[in-house]
Amino acid sequence: MKRILIMAVLALSFSAHAQQVEPKFEKVGDKVKATYFHANGEISQQGFFLNEKLEGKWTMFDDKGEKIAMGNYDKGVKTGKWLFWEGDTVKEVNFDNNRIASVEKMDAKEAIVTN
């Protein structure tokens, strides 16, 4: 009996950790706004789709809700300036047709983000 009780408790704890939060989709004009979530309910990423392709500004967050990346898509292709936060460092990565054109590192305290 004790063994069955222990197995039941373990099974419940594993299933609680394995729960997924369903993404949310809403129509905004001609685009679809998508919001994806971490298992803890925090937003993991948010952005838009147009004709089933990533379009416009996308923002990614860690499981504590801190911004870790932000950039733009054009018809599913990374384009222009993307910012990636890693601790006290911000990386500015410029994309040209989904390929990295340049990378610049800066101190997060000195970086000014407009977007």
Residue at 34 is within a domain? yes
Distance of CA 46 to the CA centre of its chain: 6
Residue at 9 is within a domain? no
Structure tokens at 113: 């983000």
Confidence of residue 112 (pLDDT cuts 50, 70, 90): low
Percent over 90 (pLDDT), the chain? 70
Residue at 89 is within a domain? yes
Residue at 94 is within a domain? yes
- List the CATH number of the domain containing 79: 2.20.110
Residue at 60 is within a domain? yes
Quote the number of domains for the chain.
Answer: 1
Residue with the bigger pLDDT between 56 and 12: it is 56
pLDDT of residue 6: 45
Residue at 3 is within a domain? no
Q: Residue 85 contacts by C-beta under 8 Å, 6 or more apart in sequence?
A: 66, 67, 68, 69, 108
Domain of residue 45: give its range: 20-107
